[in-house]
């Protein structure tokens, strides 16, 4: 049984008040004590004037697009998708996609992120996830609309589910069961029907069926939702820029029947909201949409800097929080953002609204994300019995009295991150890769 004691000027458990001059005792990758330090302990690892807080949770990203940085946006969302699709194929296959995901995982860990809710596609992505040594909530993306579903792969949902199952059995479980310290991360698998403008009710229902089954490892659902006004238009009457996009890509065959309601109402109608889904964006939602989300156990992933990149109307995240909706933070991909840092997102929000309590922001970047991904019983806060997933941020000397504001105001970077008690520098890829 291995025990390690860490001491730091501040420990920020998130689920309880900050502890000044605190100590964190870690045994076999789990937290056994988080408390005020007593007498000097020469065996403890002293992290000095720093804040120790839970590893950040990036609830929504696409690491396979890490190499697609700098897709330009000129005021048309579908125009941006066309630009992305023109670049994306170069990143979508083989070693390129493996390298892109690994690069994204490395950038995440360097930013103090220990858990990602990542949308991916194909076995290469699963292989890269398995090699990442951090917590992965992996969602395989499925699309398909009308009779030309999923680009000619009518069983896309089952295929994705089988891929996840095989990947989980072959790539993830063996290293962890042989030696937990060589592979300390958690893995949870899910499906992500892409969005209502690319994916019809039939595909959504199939995905629901996969996560509802007692067998298999698919447990979570995610979807992009209510991202643009054009999406509202498409669901209302099947017209507009998304119709034109589908026609251009040869995916429109006239069999699609628009539900004639809002994207959130559509999710309610097909039963998607009943499965604790992660709803990404929700940029354009009415009061009644918010009522539906609040009445469900759905979480909302807000991607603040990506939201700004597309110059969307103000997001209603504060109203969502006031209604008790679990709002977490995602970076989305580098195709619409500058970094994969959740801390950068929180600092951006702090500038956007200085009146929001800092503790609330930190919670959005940690525990709320863990809850959205179904991992809050294991990570997201520094509590006894949870996994030792934490990030260390050096303190600016002028801010040592208030660790929360120091984290949000300070521009210092995380100095290290731990997953299941293992420090990030131990996370180099295995020699066999
Ligand atoms: Zn996304």
- Predicted pLDDT at 425: 55
Given a contact cutoff of 8 angstroms between Cβ atoms, the answer to whether 399 and 405 are in contact is yes
Give me the residues paired with residue 302 across strands: 329
The CA 223 to ligand 1 mean position distance, Å, reads 8
Q: Distance between CA atoms of 420 and 115, rounded to whole angstroms?
A: 11
Beta strand ranges found along 121-276 (DSSP E): 135-142, 187-193, 218-225
Which candidate, 202, 215, 221, 320, places its Cα nearest to that of 275? Answer: 221
Q: Distance between CA atoms of 367 and 202, rounded to whole angstroms?
A: 33
Q: Distance between CA atoms of 180 and 176, rounded to whole angstroms?
A: 5
The CA 27 to ligand 1 mean position distance, Å, reads 36
C-alpha gyration radius of the chain: 21
The CA 428 to ligand 1 mean position distance, Å, reads 27
Please report the DSSP string for 308-326 in residue order: HHTTPSPP-HHHHHHTT-E
The CA 332 to ligand 1 mean position distance, Å, reads 5
Token output for 427: 């996370």
The CA 363 to ligand 1 mean position distance, Å, reads 21
- Predicted pLDDT at 187: 87
The CA 335 to ligand 1 mean position distance, Å, reads 10
What's the whole-model pTM score?
A: 0.94
Beta strand ranges found along 226-295 (DSSP E): 278-281
The CA 61 to ligand 1 mean position distance, Å, reads 6
The CA 393 to ligand 1 mean position distance, Å, reads 28
Helix %, strand %, coil % of the chain (to 5): 40, 20, 40
- Predicted pLDDT at 181: 47
Please report the DSSP string for 44-78 in residue order: SEE--SEEEEEPEEEEEE-GGGGGGTT----S-HH
Q: Distance between CA atoms of 201 and 257, rounded to whole angstroms?
A: 10
The CA 146 to ligand 1 mean position distance, Å, reads 22
The CA 409 to ligand 1 mean position distance, Å, reads 27
The CA 62 to ligand 1 mean position distance, Å, reads 6
The CA 113 to ligand 1 mean position distance, Å, reads 17
Which residues fall within 8 angstroms of residue 175, CB to CB, at 6 or more apart? 130, 182, 183
Q: Distance between CA atoms of 321 and 302, rounded to whole angstroms?
A: 11
Q: Is 331 helix (H, G, I), strand (E, B) or coil?
A: coil
Given a contact cutoff of 8 angstroms between Cβ atoms, the answer to whether 227 and 281 are in contact is yes
Token output for 48: 């000095």
The CA 92 to ligand 1 mean position distance, Å, reads 16
Q: Distance between CA atoms of 192 and 188, rounded to whole angstroms?
A: 13
Given a contact cutoff of 8 angstroms between Cβ atoms, the answer to whether 193 and 207 are in contact is yes
- Predicted pLDDT at 83: 87
Q: Where are the alpha helices (DSSP H) in 250-341?
A: 263-269, 287-295, 304-309, 317-322
Residue ranges in the chain modelled with pLDDT below 70: 1, 89-93, 148-155, 169, 171-183, 214-216, 398-399, 425-433
Question: All domains of the chain, ordered by start, with CATH?
Answer: 1-55+380-428 (2.30.40.10), 56-378 (3.20.20.140)
The CA 225 to ligand 1 mean position distance, Å, reads 10
Q: Distance between CA atoms of 64 and 1, rounded to whole angstroms?
A: 37
Token output for 105: 């995982």
The CA 25 to ligand 1 mean position distance, Å, reads 37
Which residues fall within 8 angstroms of residue 354, CB to CB, at 6 or more apart? none
- Predicted pLDDT at 433: 35
The CA 190 to ligand 1 mean position distance, Å, reads 15
């Amino acid at each position: 049984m291995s025990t390690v004691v860490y001491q730091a000027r501040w420990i920020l458990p998130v689920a309880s008040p900050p502890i000044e001059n605190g100590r964190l005792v870690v045994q076999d990758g789990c937290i056994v004590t988080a408390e005020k330090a007593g007498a000097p302990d020469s065996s403890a690892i002293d992290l000095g004037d720093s804040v120790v807080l839970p590893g950040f949770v990036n609830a929504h990203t696409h690491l396979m697009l890490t190499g697609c940085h700098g897709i330009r946006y000129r005021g048309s969302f579908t125009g941006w998708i066309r630009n992305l699709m023109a670049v994306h194929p170069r990143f979508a296959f083989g070693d390129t996609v493996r390298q892109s995901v690994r690069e994204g995982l490395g950038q995440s860990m360097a930013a103090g992120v220990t858990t990602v809710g990542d949308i991916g596609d194909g076995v290469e992505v699963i292989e890269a996830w398995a090699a990442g040594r951090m917590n992965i909530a992996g969602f395989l993306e499925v699309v398909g609309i009308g009779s030309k579903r999923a680009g000619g792969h009518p069983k896309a949902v089952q295929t994705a589910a089988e891929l996840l199952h095989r990947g989980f059995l072959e790539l993830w479980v063996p290293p962890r069961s042989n030696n937990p310290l060589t592979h300390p991360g958690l893995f949870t698998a899910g499906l992500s029907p892409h969005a209502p403008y690319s994916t019809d009710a039939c595909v959504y229902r199939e995905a629901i069926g996969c996560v509802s089954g007692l067998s298999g490892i698919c447990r979570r659902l995610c979807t992009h939702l209510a991202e643009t006004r054009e999406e509202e238009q498409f669901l209302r009457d099947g017209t507009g820029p998304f119709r034109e996009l589908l026609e251009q890509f040869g995916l429109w065959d006239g069999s699609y029947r628009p539900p004639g309601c809002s994207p959130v109402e559509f999710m309610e109608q097909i039963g998607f909201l009943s499965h604790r889904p992660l709803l990404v964006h929700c940029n354009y939602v009415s009061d009644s949409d918010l009522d539906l989300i609040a009445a469900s156990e759905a979480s909302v992933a807000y991607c603040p800097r990506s939201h700004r990149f597309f110059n969307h109307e103000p997001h209603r995240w504060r109203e969502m929080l006031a209604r008790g909706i679990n709002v977490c933070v995602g970076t989305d991909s580098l195709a619409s953002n500058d970094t994969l840092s959740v801390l950068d997102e929180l600092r951006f929000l702090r500038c956007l609204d200085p009146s929001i309590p800092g503790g609330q922001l930190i919670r959005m970047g940690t525990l709320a994300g863990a809850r959205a991904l179904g991992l809050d019983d294991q990570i997201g806060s520094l509590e006894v019995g949870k996994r030792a997933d934490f990030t260390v941020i050096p303190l600016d000397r002028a801010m040592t009295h208030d660790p929360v504001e120091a984290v949000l105001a300070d521009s210092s970077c995380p100095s290290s991150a731990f997953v299941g008690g293992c420090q990030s520098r131990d996370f180099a890829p295995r020699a066999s890769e």
